[in-house]
């Protein structure tokens, strides 16, 4: 049989498998899942919850607001709406100097409140002026949530894998420690997909997270708990990770900001699973937040010594930037067509940039973008410099336990007995099928190198590229099973190693968030972050759920 025909048959089989699994998902959505009186979370009424992290830190430093009042306001909000979204899954609860791990209930967040009181006592001593305090603690007293895949001392670090449910972090991940040293106060950890490899955040330990704009819809993944907690005003800044869009998809689906830094800028140390070998550069840790002005100061803190690779102190004149845009990937048969809502939103941005900013905006057609999924697979299957194969997903599934047989797990899942989710089982079954032989690897590696060269030359040091964050707005629960390759709209930029900021653009006529990716050349993160702040001012940024 001709190789081209064989490849098409394989693609059709993959699509058919996804569709059949999706039918199960549709049934699960129709007959299962929690029921709520409202499809959205309640709107915010506390003014402190409507301030950025930068603004809160300033008010606390200037002693205009007590840190304990800020923390208590967020605790009250979590108790009120988190049972609906299931974004924050664990928090620190202290009794008699012993830290216990408990689910979010009406009990008090003693550890966070203790740290808030310490901030207020320190400030009452008036030993340092505002400028000194800002330099030492830019996020003094600011509430923080952290993706469960990252180590937060005393908290679980399972990444949704049942075998790791008793794994408790003995220390902090490097970025978490940096944010705590900058004054941030962790409230708890947030949900993710099993082993952070699916774009719906659901697992057998914590269950499923729900979108605050419509609880019947997904929050994205794998940093989905973080995305919905921030969008629902249960937190103001957060930590996510991204190897295929795991910061940007949740940020998009939940109408907030998320930044995937340039490759190699922010350390990944202290998260599970952590990419190794050739994949290490493609996994990125980055900031997630409701307000664009928090992105740059967060990145400064999280990058540590890696900040020297960036140009965050350079002034960006937006009128002088070259803008490029593309409304879809060019027609991949594996990926859903882009919603008209998203195309119209992107065109509004283009028109605004041209008419209000007077910027140069050019429509482009990058033909090789239609191979985004194949390029991402090539990245994930690349051998390391030592010639070693990348870690297999099926081996990660067996962490802290016996080897996993994907086929047996599928049989057990059909009987309701598996400890794994169907996306994880499906990936374990298909990973060898998806892996390219040497000939295909060379083919798509050459395409990746060509596309990288084309984009980098086009963007230079003064260009940004506008591209959809996803083909659709947040789908309903389980629907991603029928569209397993749609993440390629974000995954392509991991493979290319470019900095990307997801920016919210309001809501569609059904009350679901719209958004766009802003891409720049390597280490030009300052350009995408500047554009993010401009788009927030022009299009409103985050919209409070429940007000639609």
Any idea which residues carry the catalytic annotation?
A: 147, 222, 246
Tokens of 144: 């923080």
Three-state DSSP class for 193?
Answer: coil
Question: Residue 103 and residue 120: Cα distance in Å, rounded?
Answer: 27
Q: Tell me how crowded residue 72 is: count the other CB atoms within 10 A of its CB.
A: 18
Question: Residue 116 and residue 295: Cα distance in Å, rounded?
Answer: 23
Tell me 523's DSSP state. Answer: T
- Asked if 326 contacts 369 with a C-beta cutoff of 8 angstroms, the reply is yes
- Asked if 514 contacts 508 with a C-beta cutoff of 8 angstroms, the reply is yes
- Interhelix angle for 372-381 vs 488-496, to 10°? 50
Q: Tell me how crowded residue 248 is: count the other CB atoms within 10 A of its CB.
A: 34
Interior angle at CA 342, CA 338 and CA 344, nearest 5: 115
**Cis omega (within 30 of 0) for bond into 222:** yes
Question: Residue 389 and residue 521: Cα distance in Å, rounded?
Answer: 29
Tell me 217's DSSP state. Answer: B
Q: Tell me the residue length of the chain.
A: 548
Instruction: Taking the CA atoms of 34, 37, 43 and 48 in sequence, report the sign of the dihedral they define.
Output: negative
Tell me 404's DSSP state. Answer: P
Instruction: Taking the CA atoms of 539, 545, 546 and 548 in sequence, report the sign of the dihedral they define.
Output: positive
> How far lies 163's CA from each of 99, 159, 166, 415, in Å?
22, 10, 8, 20
Burial class (CB in 10 A: 0-12, 13-18, 19+), 309: middle
Q: Which of 267, 275, 276 is nearest to 306 (CA)?
A: 267
Q: Which of 48, 35, 145, 34 is nearest to 88 (CA)?
A: 145
Q: Tell me how crowded residue 278 is: count the other CB atoms within 10 A of its CB.
A: 18
- Asked if 223 contacts 240 with a C-beta cutoff of 8 angstroms, the reply is yes
- Asked if 521 contacts 272 with a C-beta cutoff of 8 angstroms, the reply is no
Question: Residue 111 and residue 90: Cα distance in Å, rounded?
Answer: 13
Buried-state track 354-370, b at ≥16 Cβ within 10 A, e below 16: eeeeebebeeeebebbb
Question: Residue 279 and residue 96: Cα distance in Å, rounded?
Answer: 44
């Amino acid at each position: 049989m001709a190789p081209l025909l064989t490849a098409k048959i394989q693609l059709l089989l993959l699509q058919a498998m996804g569709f059949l699994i999706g039918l199960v998902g549709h049934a699960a959505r129709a007959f299962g899942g929690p029921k709520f009186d409202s499809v959205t979370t309640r709107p915010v009424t506390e003014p402190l919850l409507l301030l950025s992290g930068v603004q809160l830190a300033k008010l606390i430093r200037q002693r205009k607001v007590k840190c304990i009042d800020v923390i208590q306001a967020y605790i009250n909000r979590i108790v009120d709406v988190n049972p609906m979204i299931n974004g924050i899954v664990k928090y620190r609860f202290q009794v008699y100097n012993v830290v216990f791990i408990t689910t979010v209930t009406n009990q008090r967040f003693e550890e966070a409140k203790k740290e808030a009181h310490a901030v207020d006592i320190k400030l009452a001593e008036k030993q340092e002026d505002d400028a000194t305090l800002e330099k030492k603690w830019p996020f003094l007293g600011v509430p923080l949530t952290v993706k469960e895949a990252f180590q937060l001392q005393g908290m679980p670090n399972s990444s949704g894998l049942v075998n790791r449910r008793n794994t408790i972090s003995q220390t902090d991940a490097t970025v978490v420690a940096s944010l705590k040293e900058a004054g941030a106060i962790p409230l708890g950890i947030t949900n993710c997909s099993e082993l952070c490899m699916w774009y719906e955040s659901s697992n057998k330990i914590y269950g499923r997270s729900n979108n605050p704009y419509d609880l019947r819809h997904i929050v994205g993944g794998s940093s989905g708990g973080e995305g919905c907690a921030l969008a629902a005003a249960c937190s103001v800044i957060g930590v996510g990770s991204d190897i295929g869009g795991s910061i940007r998809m949740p940020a998009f689906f939940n109408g907030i900001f998320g930044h995937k830094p340039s490759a190699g800028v922010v350390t990944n140390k202290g998260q599970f699973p952590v990419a190794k070998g050739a994949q290490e550069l493609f996994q990125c840790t980055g900031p997630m937040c409701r307000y664009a002005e928090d992105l740059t100061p967060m990145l400064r803190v999280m990058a540590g010594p890696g900040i020297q690779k960036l140009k965050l102190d350079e002034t960006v004149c937006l009128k002088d930037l070259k803008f490029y845009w593309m409304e879809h990937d060019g027609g991949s048969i594996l990926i859903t067509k882009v919603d008209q809502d998203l195309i119209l939103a992107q065109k509004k941005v283009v028109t605004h940039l041209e008419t209000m900013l007077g910027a140069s905006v050019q429509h482009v057609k990058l033909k090789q973008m239609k191979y985004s999924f194949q390029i991402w697979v090539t990245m994930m299957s690349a051998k390391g410099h030592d010639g070693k194969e990348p870690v297999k997903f099926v081996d990660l599934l067996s962490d802290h336990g016996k080897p996993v047989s994907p086929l047996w797990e599928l049989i057990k899942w059909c009987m309701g007995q598996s400890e794994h989710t169907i996306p994880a089982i499906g990936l374990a079954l298909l990973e060898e099928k998806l892996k390219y032989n040497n000939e295909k690897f060379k083919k798509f590696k050459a395409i990746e190198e060509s596309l990288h060269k084309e984009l980098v030359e086009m963007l230079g040091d003064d260009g940004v590229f506008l591209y959809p964050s996803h083909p659709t707005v947040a789908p309903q629960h389980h629907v991603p099973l029928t569209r397993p390759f749609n993440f390629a709209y974000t995954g392509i930029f991991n493979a290319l190693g470019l900095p990307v900021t997801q920016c919210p653009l309001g809501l569609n006529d059904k009350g679901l968030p719209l958004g766009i990716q802003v891409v720049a050349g390597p280490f030009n993160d300052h350009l995408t972050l500047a554009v993010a702040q401009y788009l927030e001012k022009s299009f409103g940024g985050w919209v409070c759920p429940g007000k639609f």
